[in-house]
Structure 1
Amino acid sequence: MSTCPNGHQSGTDDWCEVCGHRMSASAVPSASVNSGAARPVASGYDPDATAAAEPCPTCGTPREGRALFCEECRYNFQTHTATTFVPAPAPPSPPSPGFPPYQRYESQRSRPSQMNRPAEPLAPEAVTPGEEGDSGDFLLTPPSAPSTPAAPSRPEAAAAPEPLAPEVTTWVATVAADRDYFTAMMARSGPDATGLYFPSYSPELRLPLIGNQITIGRRRHSTGEAPDIDLSRAPEDPGVSHQHAVLVQQPDGGWSVVDQDSTNGTTVNGAADPIQPYLPVPLKEGDRVHVGAWTTITVGRG
């Protein structure tokens, strides 16, 4: 007996009787290959030609020569039955690197009930119709226990009104070129003011007074030190000292002005005489502080 490539013992040398696999060329006897004996042919009948044209009754594939089994479905032409050979399952492919094998987990989410139960009737006192003007919906309220009459309330003293917080007022300094102050200063200065001209354009500047002290003067370009109200901006007032004056906040929230012993002095509300150096002068809302050749600083509540 011969052995097919699948390891089955077969009594035939061309096709395996078990699985229908073609025997290897080495298993075919040499006498059947090289004998050269002519097959019997009578009255034009060729058995090989007839077998080759025979279709498989299961899948319709033409039979190759005198093959025992169909090449497609392994139908057994000798026993006229389907083959019982079941090929071994292919080994599982290894998982891709970097990806864990897939695992199926049962969902942990809650599922709806499969039983449709009728709604339970509500007690009449649990249904409260909406008030007039509402949308008409009903509110579900739990039944409440019978209420007991409340004790008569005693008259209480009226609550004292809460004290109002003190109003926070922000003061503002308005810096502008004052032509009237410039004309009066030129008249008092005489020949010393020759060559001074009132600026043709000087935009008004409003600055909030924040903090306890606001310095007035001109920037020192050598050191970069600049006061809070810097009058070195264009047009620069040449009569203002680098440390000219200081606005100081008073305990009542108001402000006063203190001259810092400037070269040309500080005047208030168009006065002819400057104020004393280092002596605070209280200011009221709307008071005007004059410094330099034409600058007037008006203080007031913002």
Structure 2
Amino acid sequence: MATCPQGHTSSDEEFCEVCGREIGGAPVIVADAPASAEAELPAAGATCEACGAALAGRFCEECGHDSLAPPPVSVPRAAVERVVADDAPPVPTDRVPEATTWTATVTADRTYFDAVMAAEGPDASGITFPPYCPDRHFPLAGKEISIGRQSRSRGILPDIDLLGPPEDPGVSHLHALLLAQPDGSWSIVDLDSANGTVINDEPNPLRPNVPRALEDGDRVYIGAWTRITLRRS
């Protein structure tokens, strides 16, 4: 009987009848198997190197990563966002919203006052031009801005209060309304005021309750001398 390199006895003197190896060949070294399955279990409190989830076994229950395999190579989020941003097509300039702010500047206008006096407006004889009227600036914000003179007894508290000093008696308590437009501009509505609302050098006042679009630099005249200039920045 012949003996193969693995120690099997065989009646065939060329190849082992048990394992098929050549008689007289070199023995094959077999690597030792793990002592037990417990050798593959992660230590208590271990976390997945791929997603950070707690490990209860060799394979992560969240992402399936093998804890015995090398950790995956991660790409910084900033780099990913930079690549996405670089690959994204540019936004057309005409579609980029323009951040604008509007301001209403209130002052006394002598030329307008003289025109009102020349037309002999209501109670013209009892009105005098104020000797001092500093500019007042009102940032425009929200959907609408009321213009008038405060009257607590009537519960009227306009956003642009022209009560003074100096007080323009030709301004109605609730004279006009500025309305914000979807494109960021403003329009004005005369609220059927006693003395009307004039835009720039137009000969006729606005029709009551009909919105009128305004542009940067437009001048709104109300009362006996009040000029409101709208500026966009």
Aligned pairs (5 A) from 1:271-290: 271-290=202-221
Give distance in 1, aligned partners of 2:100 and 2:89: 23
**Would you say 1:212 and 2:149 are equivalent positions?**
no
Deviations 1:78-132 (A, max 9, x none): xxxxxxxxxxxxxxxxxxxxxxxxxxxxxxxxxxxxxxxxxxxxxxxxxxxxxxx
Gaps of 5+ in 1: 1-155
Q: Describe the shift of the 1:186–1:209 C-alpha distance in structure 2 as closer, same or farther (beyond 3 A).
A: same
**AA at the equivalent of 2:103:** V
Cα displacement (A) at 1:290: 0.4
Inter-partner Cα distance in structure 2 for 1:190 and 1:203: 24
1:222 equivalent to 2:150? Answer no
SS at match of 2:111: helix
* Alpha-carbon distance in structure 2 between the residues aligned to 1:191 and 1:231: 18
Specify the code of the residue in structure 1 equivalent to 2:114: T
Instruction: State whether structure 2 residue 87 is matched by structure 1 residue 159.
Output: yes
Mapped partners of 1:183, 1:191: distance in 2? 14
The residue number in structure 1 matching 2:66 is none
Describe the shift of the 1:272–1:202 C-alpha distance in structure 2 as closer, same or farther (beyond 3 A): same
From 233, 240, 244, give the equivalent of 2:164. 233
Among all aligned residue pairs of Structure 1 and Structure 2, give the percentage whose two residues are the same amino acid: 55
Aligned equivalent of 2:127: 196
Is 1:172 matched up with 2:103?
yes
- Show CA shifts across 1:206-243 (max 9, x none): 11100010000000032453100000020000000011
Report whether the alignment pairs 1:261 with 2:192: yes
Q: Distance in 1 between matches of 2:209 and 2:141?
A: 21
Q: Distance in 1 between matches of 2:104 and 2:122?
A: 32
Tell me, in whole angstroms, the C-alpha distance in 2 between the residues paired with 1:190 and 1:199. Answer: 17
> 2:228: which partner in 1?
297
Gaps of 5+ in 2: 1-82
Separation in structure 2 between the aligned mates of residue 284 and residue 292 of structure 1, nearest angstrom: 21
CA distance in 2, matches of 1:169, 1:255: 12
Residues paired across the two proteins, number: 147
How far apart are residue 167 of structure 1 and its match? 2.4
1:251 pairs, out of 158, 168, 182, with 182
Partner residue of 2:61? none
Distance 2:140 2:167 in 1: 22
Aligned equivalents of 1:257 and 1:159: distance in 2?
44
Whose relative contact order is higher, 1 or 2, with alpha carbons under 8 Å and at least 6 apart? 2
1:265 to partner: Cα distance: 0.5
Whether contact under 8 Å (2:156, 2:173) holds in the other structure is no
CA gap 1:191/1:290 in 2 versus in 1, 3 angstroms: closer
Normalising by structure 1, we get a TM-score of 0.46
Q: Deviations along 1:146-187, whole A, 9 cap, x unmatched?
A: xxxxxxxxxx99623553752210111011111111111111
Deviation (angstroms), 1:294 = 0.3
What is the TM-score when the length of structure 2 is the normalising length?
0.59
